[in-house]
Structure 1
């Protein structure tokens, strides 16, 4: 009996189940089986939700900052293609580029004209040790745009009337 009295004093009730109250409002279409429920949020809850949304947007903006391309790091130097079937060593100065294939001994010489820090035009000037006549390639220009960089290398989009390729290069080991 003691436990019963303590529980009752704390607000617990025992005995008959209370009937659930019926909904006082029904949906606009008059359907009595599915009454509409209305809830309102307190101004504190609404403000907290707004603050959370603003915080998420700010964090997203910081994470979406475009990675800065460091094209000048690859303006000159020695590079290799990432593709295994392209063993050429590329030696680039500010105005020239030489591609040397160590297996076939083909050497392709090009002039480089920089349009911006991340874009240049490469024009073939001389090709040596090519097994066929390569005179049709002399004077051919290839537009090259550096589209991404990282600490190991860079990726370019190379286009000309004959090609439209995405190529990846790494710094050559010395």
Structure 2
């Protein structure tokens, strides 16, 4: 009998798939939180299908968007002011809820990734 319970548990556990309704987050107004070296960074942004305008520390930054699929996007800074801003950023939505998503991002071609959460405002 224990084998049956164990088999049912494993079957249910293996069938669990985290929710990813990425299309719900391709456009809208959001704020995000990222923790890097125990420091919380917050930003606000508005996103259309092809453009994202972000406000961070009172500065506005705009990026062109190229969606790879519904859950992955490449950001290209429109007017880069330094070498770091010239690098494209790859963002992947990992999980979603009804009003937020967890993501990871990195510079294109680099292996070090950071994670964060974005919350839909409207």
The TM-score with structure 1 as length reference comes to 0.57
Larger radius of gyration: 1
Hey, what does 1:89 align to over in structure 2?
44
Q: Tell me the distance in 2 between the aligned counterparts of 1:97 and 1:106.
A: 14
Structure 1 gaps of 5+ residues are 1-48, 128-133
Q: Tell me the distance in 1 between the aligned counterparts of 2:58 and 2:100.
A: 24
- Does residue 1:154 correspond to 2:101, yes or no? yes
Note the alpha carbon deviations across 1:90-130, whole angstroms, 9 max, x for none.
111111111113xx421110011111111111111126xxx
Hey, what does 1:46 align to over in structure 2?
none
SS of 2:41 mapped into structure 1: coil
Tell me the number of residue pairs that the alignment of Structure 1 and Structure 2 aligns.
Answer: 115
Select which of 59, 62, 84 maps to 1:109: 62
Q: Is the 8 A contact 1:124 1:137 kept in 2?
A: no
1:95-174 mapped onto 2 (5 Å cutoff): 95-101=50-56, 104-126=57-79, 134-160=81-107, 161=110, 164-172=113-121
Q: Which structure is higher in strand share?
A: 2
Note the alpha carbon deviations across 1:10-54, whole angstroms, 9 max, x for none.
xxxxxxxxxxxxxxxxxxxxxxxxxxxxxxxxxxxxxxx3xx523
SS of 1:73 mapped into structure 2: helix
Select which of 44, 60, 65 maps to 2:10: 60
> What is the CA RMSD across the aligned residues, in angstroms?
2.4
Structure 2 gaps of 5+ residues are none
The TM-score with structure 2 as length reference comes to 0.78
